[in-house]
């Protein structure tokens, strides 16, 4: 996140309408605050308990029925003014009834900030995780495939490649010029995944679910509840003829 940052958080807050506030203690730069009507949100540059440089936000959100303390932090740099607004609105929503913050005075960037939450680092990461190459296979098929794979692995060199691919209906496991194919469900993968045979010596044995997940994330292959390091090979097509 910090490596990609391009905008000062405190400068962004000023652009959003935060004003200098002498009652807010802040390091190096004047503390700021913004009056939402039912919440005076204060922002100060400081160090958190991990000695990281942050912008700390705090205030008390009042409604006709409740008072709620608002407390969250942001890095001192963000990627854009839009991300800064989205970050604030996301946190205010978390502290509000029904997860929707409703200021008692009009603030033009609230709704836009809510619409832009897809650019928040954790929201973006979750979206990427959910769209990772993945499929599910029925347990009985998966158990048979693991048994056959284990038998073939016993005769392979340690550095032999075992390649996993999925065309939208068939999960293929290629090793030693032979292919294990088993039916699966999911979207076609635009990548293949290579694992050295030595990494697969310990295959899953306890299969507790009726459908077993197979997925790729951050250069690791997940088979049920086991993960294996390997390499991703893109082939840029969803044509099943390129998967094999």
Q: Count of H helices and E strands in the chain?
A: 6, 16
Convert 111-143 to b/e letters by CB count within 10 Å (16 or more is b). Answer: eebbebbeebeeeeeeeeeeeebbbbbeeebbe
Q: φ and ψ at 144, to 5 degrees? A: -65, -40
CATH, range 134-243 = 3.10.150.10
Residue keyed to tokens 């997925």: 215
| pLDDT of the residue at 236 | 54
At CA 222, angle to CA 217 and CA 225, rounded to 5? Answer: 130
**For the chain, which residues make up each domain, given as ranges?**
2-129, 134-243
* Sites in the chain below the pLDDT cut of 70: 1-5, 235-244
- What pLDDT is recorded for position 4? 59
Burial class (CB in 10 A: 0-12, 13-18, 19+), 78: buried
pLDDT tens figures, 19-62: 999 999 999 889 999 999 999 999 999 999 999 999 999 999 99
Instruction: Give residue 177's pLDDT.
Output: 84
């Amino acid at each position: 996140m910090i490596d990609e940052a391009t905008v000062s958080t405190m400068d962004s807050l000023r652009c959003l309408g935060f004003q200098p506030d002498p009652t807010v203690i802040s390091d190096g730069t004047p503390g700021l605050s913004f009056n939402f009507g039912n919440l005076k949100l204060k922002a100060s540059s400081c160090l958190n308990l991990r000695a990281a440089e942050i912008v700390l936000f705090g205030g008390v959100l009042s409604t006709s029925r409740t008072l709620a303390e608002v407390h969250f932090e942001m890095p001192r740099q963000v990627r854009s003014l839009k991300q800064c607004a989205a970050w604030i609105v996301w946190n205010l929503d978390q502290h509000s009834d029904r997860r929707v913050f409703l200021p008692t005075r009009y603030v033009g960037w609230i709704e836009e900030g809510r619409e832009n939450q897809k650019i928040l680092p954790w929201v973006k990461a979750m979206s990427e995780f959910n769209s990772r190459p993945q499929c599910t296979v029925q347990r009985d098929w998966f158990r048979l495939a693991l048994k056959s794979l284990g038998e073939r692995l016993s005769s392979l060199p340690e550095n032999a490649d075992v390649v996993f691919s999925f065309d939208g209906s068939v999960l293929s496991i290629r090793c030693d010029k032979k292919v294990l194919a088993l039916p699966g469900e999911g979207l076609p993968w635009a990548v293949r995944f290579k694992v050295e045979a030595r990494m697969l010596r310990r295959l899953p044995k306890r299969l507790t679910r009726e459908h077993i997940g197979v997925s790729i994330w951050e250069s690791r292959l997940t088979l049920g509840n086991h993960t294996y390091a390997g390499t991703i090979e893109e082939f840029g097509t969803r044509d099943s003829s390129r998967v094999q």
